[in-house]
Structure 1
Amino acid sequence: MLPPPPPERWSILARIPKVVKDKEAKRTFPPGADVSVACDELPRASILTVPLRISPPPCLPSYPYVAAADPSSLLLLCATEPGGEVTYHLCHARTGEATCFREHDCPMGFDDANVGLMTRGDSCVVAELQPSGDGSGRATLLRYTVGQYKWAVTELAYSPQLHRQWFCEGVVSHGGMLWWVELSYGLLACDPYSDKPELLHVPLPTIIDPLPGKVANLANRASHSCVKASSGRLRYVQIHGDPAARW
């Protein structure tokens, strides 16, 4: 019998980066690096550090954050400039390189978790999905292929139609597709590299034991459930029980 494969290496990355002055970055970063990632052992979180020329420091109500990550060590950083302009920076955690590209003309959705990142060979694509909630079954897919310096906008159809707002809880890259997660609706997936992408709907399993009432609403479902890729599979996890309950 063959031994089991070694477990996947993984880490926890803090979503909000540390922002330092440009002089400090030049002094502490590796030579030629635009950004730096301080990797730490689990369960501690690793931290992305960027200079002021890439992102203003965190402040309310605006702060930089890592919008997406890929196993290739690519990170998508979203930053809001003092004038309100949103910029995306594709950062390589290993090499320290960072590439900036501007926001698309279509406004971001209610939840910035709609943005995903995927690589194929030497190519990288950033994609955002904006499903309508008016019952029309229409969705807008925005794609940015690194090196082409522009966003491509594609109108798609999806089913079953939503008659309410889309509450995305994140985007997962798995099996050559990007999977947009809406915990009360299911998954919408497509191949962002396709010339004619089509949206695939996958419902989530029905759980007999319902979530507690205060976390069953749309805003709190992510506190007890999630969809992630693990050990080569796309997995749905739901935790039951009230953490405030006394034993």
Structure 2
Amino acid sequence: MDKISIPWLTICVCTCTISGVGTNNIALGKPATQSSVTYGGTANRAVDGNRDSNFWRRSCIHTLHGETDQWWSVDLLSIYRIHTVRIQNRGDDDGFKFHDFEVEVYKQSPGHCPGANKTTCASHPGAANLGENVQLTCAEGTIGRYVKLLKLPQFISSPEDALTICEVEIEGVLVHQCLKDRQFHKHAGNKMQSSNPTNTGLTRAECSRRCYYDNGCYGINIRVTDDECQLITEFDSNTLADDSGWNYYRLC
């Protein structure tokens, strides 16, 4: 076993292994986000299990028109070796908007961990056909938790361009997470303002350990005066703010 030393916390972890068989659609019902929303086309529609390719039957996502950074992402909540990504394109008139896209995979949250390393699963040059269910086979050794679908910005030229698709299905094999890849990074004099912080009442070490093993936790606030600890999760809105009475520890 390897020992990982973190401020005030030592954790023993086992070597990463891959187990089980491929699971059908590991993206189904998982937390999803996207660069923006318009026409009510929220990110969760792409993991609702409904392949209906008609946007107006409320099964497809839609970002703002003309964005230079158009993306959709899903958190699989565990680490997987990812084999296949299937994407259902719209079958109505706006299906032409799905073109020149790439699928990226991250072990760490690209939104919360600056510089998170990515693996490119696959790229798709040109446009998908109307109503097409595009199947992409990931490059060998594609392992991660976060799967991000993005339109390549160099091909976004029209002010009417947007990312709009109807379903994303992912197949993969569960991997026992390599905890040695994750570390706490201190932000002194800062506090993550969360819409739903969890005040644990635990010691600093116990609080850190709980966050470390919780897939939904990506950081902790520690109050300077008494070590009061707050767990910060993926699923609430958060803003990092100056606060000399606290230190924030980001888990990446």
Same fold? TM cut 0.5: no
Name the structure with the higher strand share. Answer: 2
- Higher RCO (CA-CA < 8 Å; seq separation 6+): 2
Q: TM-score, normalised by structure 1?
A: 0.24
Name the structure with the higher helix share. Answer: 2
Q: TM-score, normalised by structure 2?
A: 0.24
